[in-house]
Amino acid sequence: QSVLTQPPSASGTPGQRVTISCSGSSSNIGSNAVNWYQQFPGTAPKLLIYNNYQRPSGVPDRFSGSKSGTSASLAISGLQSDDEADYSCAAWDDSLNGYVFGTETKVTVL
Amino acid sequence: DVQLVESGGGLAQPGGSLRLSCAASGFTFSSYSMNWVRQAPGKGLEWVSKISSSSTTIYYADSVKGRFTISRDKAKNSLFLQMNSLRDEDTAVYYCARESGSYSGIDYWGQGALVAVSS
């Protein structure tokens, strides 16, 4: 059961900037760090952004994250064809005592 | 390199049982909390359970509470998920996932094990 709300899809042409929103509540995003994951079909998720805006080693700086209140967002600038994937946000929920994930956004490069 | 390798998936009948294992390597397993996360076909990620590094704290999603049991073996660097009273809706790819030691969140994932529940 997804508790964080994301748009089902987002798209752009190569080189454009795409933004994905993630809406939660005071018990999850409002209280804890947000992480973003990238997932290609048939493969495991990969950490893309951690601690709201930090990038793991090897993740291009075209990917950026931000958080404000009970919402977060992921931006992909300079969109490339190999950015076509599913993207999910996640945060710990203090009320549920568990991780909650977003409803997943499929990014398409036109 | 951090490696998480799941095994034990397969086909089970409704009401049946399966036990998933996750072999961890490339890091000090006993120092990290571990999780199971699942993904039903065509659906998003769903957190299932978490166990602390010392096994003293365990959490479950409401959807599996009372049916699934998470455990770990420090000597074998392994994580387990005992799944009983399986239901059709438990059909999913199950991922073993490490929780970061320095921030709130999952940082590494296994390749996943498919569990199919069907009569």
Tens-digit pLDDT profile for residues A62-80? 999 999 999 999 999 999 9
Nearest to B90 by CA among B7, B5, B14: B14
Q: To which residue do tokens 């392994």 refer?
A: B78
Q: DSSP states of A21-78 as a string?
A: EEE--TTTTTTS--EEEEE-TTS--EEEEBTTTB--TT--TTEEEEEETTEEEEEE-S
**Residues in chain A within 8 Å Cβ distance of B47:** 98-101
Tens-digit pLDDT profile for residues A43-60? 999 999 999 999 999 999
Residue of B nearest to A44 (CA): B111
Among A44, A46, A100, beta carbon nearest to B47: A100
Interchain contact B37–A (C-beta under 8 A):
yes
Residues belonging to chain A: 110
Does B108 sit within 8 Å of A47, measured CB to CB?
yes
Question: Would you say residue B53 has pLDDT above 70?
Answer: yes
Among B45, B111, B112, beta carbon nearest to A88: B45
Q: To which residue do tokens 């931000």 refer?
A: A66
